[in-house]
């Protein structure tokens, strides 16, 4: 057994495709004849180039699927092109056209701001420094045209520096520079009032979607390996909207615990729908403060804890990506995320005793919407492989028991459950053949789902195509909520390969808590 008094040793090595290889594959795809024919004589922009994650049924320890997806928006025809190209050129390029509205890329927002600087009216104020741009919610504005197409415009906030004396959100057509202003000073589902809440916005750069970065992490003590896993930075994470720091092929003491663990769904709803609701995204990295050595693109190994906006109270930082450090007997991976004016913390804490603590935090920089009480809902997807993918059961603990004398009962089929603190409810995934288990214990501040939050836990059989519910950004209340019930279709989860979705719910009142709050459960090993 390793000496518990000895410090943890963290080894981090690059994993997956090199950034240059991803860029070259995306650039080559743009020159493919089929792509050139689709984009001929159009105004268009590349929004992202992203390595495609391994399929849900594939090998999570594999660096990637071998494909790179380039997302292009065609403003002339108001459509999105998705181009899948092989990293090694071994397969044909696949091109698909869709009306799906991708989230704005860094280049798209930059182009919109540059168009505003040239605007005859607003440009004068921007050039003189009397107005400064900021990222608002919603990030884009859509308007149906007479021919049925939906016109895409990028939302840009404009405010007097350091105050809300002048505050307005406009919409910009990046290619033409056309500007749309709103009678209410902001588009529907948003606010741009004099009152501002949240911390000062530093306006620092963010990491664009698809920025490559993944590593293999090995944690040992006294020569004994405790943890091994693949970590993917948020900018390269999987899912419709990204999924924060993503862990794959997680093993403790040489035995598999999780195939994949991440946060593919995140949303927020306001009391009386004062703003939003919003289905947020989890890929746009913001600056955090982390000193240390860069060990791979987007990963920094630190001798001391990194500081996010939630711990420092400041929106400034010196690093984009994932900070990794040892904190006592825990290894911590942390990143800061941005979605408009929201600031989120994505964190995993892995203890030497095998406990895993997923964490997610909520904060905001200055804006008018968050002056109103709002409710955040975060959904972890935990694809368990406890001592292997087969022979896993899902059990529920209740004290007092729901019926009979046993505190534990086994689910036979897929199910959605509520937290029920009165029964000290917890859930467990156990390998029925080898007896190893992991118990999910809800955090004390994780809340209970309301109608918009839908549920607290879903126990599902693992199936392809269920990495998330497929919903992109929206302000529609019916669409913004998590649509996980669609996966509860009566399949057996007895002696099977299972996935748990776990949700935490946080009511945010910035008048009481100006910085933010952190939620999350504990995953505790048994018979390991």
Q: What is the pLDDT of residue 20?
A: 85
Distance CA(133)–CA(485), nearest Å, equals 40
Beta bridge partners of 68: 51, 85
Q: What are phi and psi of 72, to 5 degrees?
A: -125, 135
- Whether domain 214-526 has CATH 2.102.10.10: the reply is no
| pLDDT single digits (tens) 229-258 | 999 999 999 999 999 999 999 999 999 999
How many other CB atoms are there within 10 angstroms of residue 1's CB atom? 6
What token pair was written down for 504?
């935490």
What token pair was written down for 52?
């495609």
**How many CA atoms are closer than 13 Å to the CA of 439, on its beta-carbon side?**
15
CB 462 within 8 A of CB 383: yes
- Please tell me the least confidently modeled range out of 3-17, 261-275, 361-375, 426-440: 3-17
18: pLDDT strictly greater than 90: no
**Residues whose CB falls within 8 Å of the CB of residue 110, separated by 6 or more in sequence, listed in order:** none
Is the sign of the CA dihedral 317, 318, 323, 328 positive or negative?
negative
- Mean pLDDT computed over 314-324: 97
| pLDDT single digits (tens) 204-213 | 999 999 898 9
Q: What are phi and psi of 422, to 5 degrees?
A: -60, -25
On average, the pLDDT of the chain sits at 93
Measuring CA to CA, how many Å separate 236 from each of 3, 47, 49, 246, 322? 36, 14, 9, 9, 11
Upstream peptide bond of 360 is cis (omega within 30 degrees of 0): no
77: pLDDT strictly greater than 70: yes
Q: What is the pLDDT of residue 164?
A: 64
Beta bridge partners of 492: 413
Q: What is the pLDDT of residue 119?
A: 95
pLDDT band at 514 (very low <50, low <70, confident <90, very high): low
Distance CA(187)–CA(302), nearest Å, equals 42
Q: What is the pLDDT of residue 102?
A: 94
**Residues whose CB falls within 8 Å of the CB of residue 383, separated by 6 or more in sequence, listed in order:** 56, 258, 259, 260, 261, 462, 499
411: pLDDT strictly greater than 90: yes
| pLDDT single digits (tens) 38-73 | 999 999 999 998 888 765 555 555 555 688 899 999
What token pair was written down for 182?
């709103």
Residue 122 DSSP code:
H
Domain boundaries, the chain: 17-98, 106-180, 214-526
State the pTM of this model: 0.95
| pLDDT single digits (tens) 451-471 | 999 999 999 999 988 999 999
- Burial (CB count <10 Å: 0-12, 13-18, 19+), residue 76: exposed
Q: Hey, what's the torsion of the CAs at 240, 375, 348, 422, to 10 degrees?
A: -120
Tokens 């709002």 found at: 374
22 membership: H or E segment, kind and range: helix 19-30
For the chain, give the percent of residues with pLDDT over 90: 83
Is 341 in a helix, a strand, or coil?
A: coil
Q: What is the pLDDT of residue 22?
A: 86
Q: Hey, what's the torsion of the CAs at 473, 479, 480, 481, to 10 degrees?
A: -150
**How many CA atoms are closer than 13 Å to the CA of 410, on its beta-carbon side?**
12
Is 141 in a helix, a strand, or coil?
A: strand
Tokens 């910085």 found at: 515
Nearest to 333 by CA among 444, 456, 427, 237: 237
Q: What is the pLDDT of residue 62?
A: 57
Q: Hey, what's the torsion of the CAs at 173, 96, 337, 507, to 10 degrees?
A: 90
Distance CA(195)–CA(275), nearest Å, equals 14
Count the helices and strands in the chain (H runs, E runs): 6, 32
- Mean pLDDT computed over 435-442: 98
For the chain, give the percent of residues with pLDDT over 70: 96
37: pLDDT strictly greater than 60: yes
Upstream peptide bond of 400 is cis (omega within 30 degrees of 0): yes
519: pLDDT strictly greater than 60: yes
Distance CA(465)–CA(67), nearest Å, equals 17
Tokens 């972890």 found at: 380
Q: What is the pLDDT of residue 23?
A: 86
| pLDDT single digits (tens) 98-144 | 998 999 988 899 999 999 999 999 999 999 999 999 999 999 999 88
- Mean pLDDT computed over 389-406: 94
- Burial (CB count <10 Å: 0-12, 13-18, 19+), residue 461: buried
Upstream peptide bond of 452 is cis (omega within 30 degrees of 0): no
pLDDT band at 21 (very low <50, low <70, confident <90, very high): confident
| pLDDT single digits (tens) 335-347 | 999 999 999 999 9
Distance CA(513)–CA(505), nearest Å, equals 16
pLDDT band at 5 (very low <50, low <70, confident <90, very high): confident
What token pair was written down for 70?
């380039």
**Residues whose CB falls within 8 Å of the CB of residue 432, separated by 6 or more in sequence, listed in order:** 391, 392, 393, 495
Distance CA(145)–CA(169), nearest Å, equals 21
């Amino acid at each position: 057994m390793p000496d518990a008094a000895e410090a943890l040793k963290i080894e981090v090595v690059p994993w997956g495709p090199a950034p240059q290889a991803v860029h070259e594959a995306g650039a080559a795809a743009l020159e493919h004849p089929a792509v050139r024919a689709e984009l001929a004589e159009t105004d268009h922009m590349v929004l992202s180039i992203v390595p495609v994650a391994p399929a849900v049924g594939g090998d999570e320890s594999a660096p990637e699927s071998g494909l790179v997806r380039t997302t292009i928006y065609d403003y002339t025809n108001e459509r999105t092109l998705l181009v899948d190209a092989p990293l090694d050129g071994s397969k044909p390029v696949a091109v698909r056209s869709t009306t799906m509205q991708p989230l704005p890329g860094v280049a798209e927002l930059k182009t919109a701001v540059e168009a505003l600087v040239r605007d005859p009216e607003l440009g004068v104020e921007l050039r003189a420094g009397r107005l400064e741009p900021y990222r608002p919610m919603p990030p884009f504005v859509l308007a149906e045209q007479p021919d049925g197409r939906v016109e895409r415009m990028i939302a840009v906030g404009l405010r007097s520096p350091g105050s809300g004396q002048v505050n307005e959100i406009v919409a910009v057509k990046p290619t033409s520079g056309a500007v749309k202003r709103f009678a209410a000073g902001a588009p529907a589902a948003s606010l741009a009032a004099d009152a501002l809440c949240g911390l000062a916005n530093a306006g620092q750069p963010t990491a664009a979607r698809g920025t490559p970065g993944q590593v293999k992490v090995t944690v040992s003590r006294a020569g004994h390996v405790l943890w091994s896993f693949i970590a993917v930075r948020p900018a390269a994470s999987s899912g419709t909207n990204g999924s924060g720091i993503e862990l794959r092929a997680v093993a403790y003491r040489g035995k598999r615990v999780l195939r994949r663990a991440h946060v593919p769904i995140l949303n927020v709803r306001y009391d009386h729908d004062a703003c939003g609701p919003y289905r947020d995204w989890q890929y746009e990295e913001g600056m955090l403060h982390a000193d240390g050595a860069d060990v791979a693109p987007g990963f920094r190994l630190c001798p001391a804890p990194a500081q996010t906006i939630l711990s420092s109270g400041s929106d400034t930082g010196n690093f984009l990506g994932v900070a990794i450090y040892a904190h006592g007997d825990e290894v911590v991976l942390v990143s800061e995320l941005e979605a408009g004016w929201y600031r989120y913390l994505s964190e995993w804490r892995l203890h030497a005793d095998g406990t895993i603590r997923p964490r997610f935090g909520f904060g905001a920089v200055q804006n008018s919407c968050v002056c109103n009480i709002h409710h955040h809902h975060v959904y972890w997807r935990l694809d368990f492989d406890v001592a292997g993918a087969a022979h896993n059961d899902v059990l529920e603990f209740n004290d007092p028991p729901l019926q009979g004398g046993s505190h534990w009962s086994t689910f036979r089929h897929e199910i959605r459950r509520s937290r029920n603190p009165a029964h000290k409810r917890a859930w467990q995934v156990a390998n029925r053949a080898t007896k190893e288990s992991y118990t999910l214990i809800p955090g004390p501040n994780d809340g209970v789902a309301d109608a918009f939050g839908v549920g607290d836990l879903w126990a599902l059989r693992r199936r392809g195509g269920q990495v998330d519910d497929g919903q992109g950004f929206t302000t529609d209340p019916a669409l913004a909520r998590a649509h996980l019930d669609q996966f509860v279709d009566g399949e057996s989860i007895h002696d099977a390969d299972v996935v748990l979705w776990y949700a935490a719910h946080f009511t945010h009142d910035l008048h009481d808590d100006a910085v933010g709050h952190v939620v999350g459960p504990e995953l505790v090993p048994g018979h390991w």
